[in-house]
Amino acid sequence: MSSVVVLKTGEREVEKNIKKMFILAGGADRFIKKGDKVLIKPNCLNSKPSSTGCTTDLRIIEAVVKIVLKQGAIPIIAEASPISFDTTHIFRQLGIKKLAEKYNARLVDMNKYAFIKVKVENPVVLKKVAVSKLVFETDKIINLPVMKTHVLTTVSLGMKNLMGCVSGEQKLRLHEVGVCEGVVDICQIIKPAFTIIDGIIAMEGAGPSNGKPKRMNLLVGSDDVLAADIVACQIMGFNPHSMKFVKSAANHDIGEYELGKIKIIGASLSRVKSRFSFPRLNISRIAGTVLLKSFIPLIRASGIDVNKLAKRISESMRPHPEFLDNCKRCKRCVVNCPEKALVLDQHHHAKPKLDKKKCIKCYVCDEVCLYGAVKIKGSR
C-alpha cells in the first residue's frame, strides 16, 4: 500500500503545508537523515515564472531547502534544462540563484556536470541511460515537478520531471524511441525519496510550456512517484491507466500501479478534482483508436499486425508543427530537434523550414519556444 498526501494551500500557507505534507507522510526524518546530500530537482524548463504554470513555485523550493537544513542535511538544487537554454541564466531569472545564496545551498547546472551511462536491468526501450553523475553523488532526491498537460504525453508530472537528470543527447534520443517508455527506464535508475507535485498554479491545454495557467492551490506528495502521478492524473480528470507512461511502468519496480492500493491522505479527490483542458490534438488519436478497435476482428483475420497499424494511424493523425510570423529566430527549436528536421536560413525575417520527411512529430520545438511561435494544429 502506497500513500499520497493531497493538500489544499493558500498563497501564504505554502511553507506550512509543505511541513504538514512531510508530517502526514511519516515525518521528514523518514526521508532525510542528518548529513545527507539532498538533490532538490525543480522543473526549470525555461525562464517563464511559476505564475504561468510552467516552472516550480519558488516558495516550494525554499520550503524544501529549509526542511533539508533543519534535518542537518545538505541541500543541492540542480536542473538540466533543454540544451538550447542556459540553466544558470534560468536559475537567475526565476530567483533560484538568490534563494541558493540566501541559504548557502549549492546550485548545479547538470548540463555542465559529468554524465555516466547506466545499464537498465529491465528496459522498455533504453538499455543504457546517460544520467548526471550528481545523482549518484547525493544520498536523496526530492523531486519537485509541476502539474501540467503535455501535447505529446498528455500529462507531465513526477516521473517525467526526472528527465532533467539525464543528458541533452539522451533527451533527444528519448523523443526518437518514445518519451513515455523512456521515462520508465529513467525511473528504474533514478529513485526520488519524495515527490511533491506543484499544483499551486498548474498548466492545461498546450503544455508543457505554452498552455494556459490553471490555479489549483494544491500540493500532491508521496515517496512513491508513480502513485503520486496516478493521483495527480485523477485530479486533472484523466484516467491514469489510459496513460502510456503509467501502463509502461507496470511491473517495472517504479511504484504502486493499482488504484485500490493507493491511500489518499488529506483532502479527498472529490474535493480537489478539476477537469483540465485536454491537449486537443490527442482527441483525433483517441477517435482513431476507438474506430480501429471496432474493426480488430476483421484486421486480425486478414493477418495484419494490429499494434503496428494502430501506431501508424496514430502517427498519421498527429499534425506537423507550423511556425508563425512572431518567430524571433532564437534557434532553440533548431538546436533541440532530435532529427535535425529544421533549418533557419540567412533571411532576417525567415521562419524555420521544416523537412516533413524527417519530422517525427515530437513537438520539442513547441516545448522549447518561449514566444508561442510554434503552432500544433488543434493543441490550443
Listed by start position, the domains of the chain span 2-272, 280-317, 319-380
Residue 166: which pLDDT band, with cuts at 50, 70 and 90? very high
Q: Could you give the percent of the chain with pLDDT greater than 70?
A: 89
| CATH code for the structural domain at 319-380 | 3.30.70.20
Residue 309 phi/psi, 5-degree rounding, is: -65, -40
Over residues 137-150, the pLDDT tens digits come to 999 999 999 999 99
Closest CA to 21 of 75, 78, 57, 67: 67
Choose which CATH entry (1.10.3720.10, 3.40.50.11440, 3.40.50.970, 2.60.40.420) describes domain 2-272: 3.40.50.11440
Quote the pLDDT of residue 315: 61
Quote the pLDDT of residue 306: 43
Quote the pLDDT of residue 169: 87
pLDDT at 235 over 90: yes
Residue 284: which pLDDT band, with cuts at 50, 70 and 90? very low
Over residues 302-320, the pLDDT tens digits come to 666 545 544 555 566 678 8
Side-chain half-sphere CA neighbours of 314 within 13 A? 14
pLDDT at 198 over 50: yes
pLDDT at 93 over 80: yes
Quote the pLDDT of residue 351: 87
pLDDT at 322 over 60: yes
Cα distance between residue 67 and residue 65, in whole Å: 5
Strands 140-144 and 321-323, how do they pair?
A: unpaired
Closest CA to 4 of 223, 249, 241: 223
Over residues 180-194, the pLDDT tens digits come to 999 999 999 999 999
